[in-house]
Amino acid sequence: MDRSTDSLAEAYDAVAADYDRMVDEDFWMRRLLWRRYLARFPPGSRVLDAGCGTGLDTLFLARAGIDAAGIDASPAMIGALQSKAARDGLAIEARVGDAADLSAWAAGSFDGIVSAFAGLNTVDLERFAAEADRILRPGGRMVLHLHAPAAAWSVVRSLLRLRWTEAWALARRRELTTRIAGSPVHLILLPPLATWRRWFASRFSLLRACSLGFLWPQAANAWLPTGVRHTVGRLEPVLGRLPVVREMGRFFVLELEKRDNGVQV
């Protein structure tokens, strides 16, 4: 692993024990992703979870009768996944490594790839796209959930505070370096269609793109009842496909299918 991957691993090693609790506020969003996984991957499919973290999605896939594997830069995250899988009696291949480096698997090893909650914002997407194309079988599909450049609520908040420069910077933001447990983590942030066109379009057809996390600001998770989040959140995959809304969320989802002819678009 290179220096950036080492830094990423250190950051997530430090929070691995608390990670499931940290992301629980957006569990309503994860459930929406799970619905898309089941729509794309029938039981018996072989699916890789890239940037799998502690295995929340990997384990869901395995419990649904899908042959699941996971890769993550953080040894502690992979350790958590392995412990959960052993406890539940699930056979899951879990590897420590850069999610863009899928060289451990042979060509045509998988029917699908999933990645959730910004795992791919931190990796070399050009390399990931090439590796994904290699390890997927003909017609293989991906459901990728990435962090968006700036949620509409963040821009609106800055505008309401008359911070015009800040609002403009947020709207135009394409990269971000943040710190997790003191370690720097660099994220690449492009809108959904720009992400597809820049890194995936030559190898993958776009089946579906939608925004998630736009109906309420993230801070509202603290007081919105869980049931309300789950119920109202079901509207997001529908409304989030509208062109006017597609770039407004905190996250977006790309559903892609491997091209078999290699035609550039």
Please give the pLDDT value at position 265.
35
In-domain check, residue 60: yes
pLDDT tens for 212-257 read: 999 999 999 999 999 999 999 999 999 999 998 999 999 999 999 9
In-domain check, residue 221: yes
pLDDT tens for 57-98 read: 999 999 999 999 999 999 999 999 999 999 999 999 999 999
Residue 189 to residues 45, 123, 186, 226, Cα–Cα distance (Å): 30, 11, 10, 28
In-domain check, residue 265: no
pLDDT tens for 13-26 read: 999 999 999 999 99
Mapping DSSP onto H, E and C, the string for 126-174 reads HHHHHHHHHHEEEEEEEEEEEECCCCHHHHHHHHHCCCHHHHHHHHHCC
Which pTM value belongs to this model?
0.93
In-domain check, residue 263: no
Total structural domains within the chain: 1
Q: Is 184 left (phi over 0), alpha (psi -120 to 50) or beta?
A: beta
SS3 call for 7: helix
In-domain check, residue 136: yes
Query: In which domain, by residue range, is 96 found?
Result: 3-258
In-domain check, residue 107: yes
Which CATH number belongs to the domain containing residue 30 in this structure? 3.40.50.150
In-domain check, residue 33: yes
Any idea which of 36-50, 86-100, 146-160, 171-185 has the lowest mean pLDDT?
171-185
In-domain check, residue 91: yes
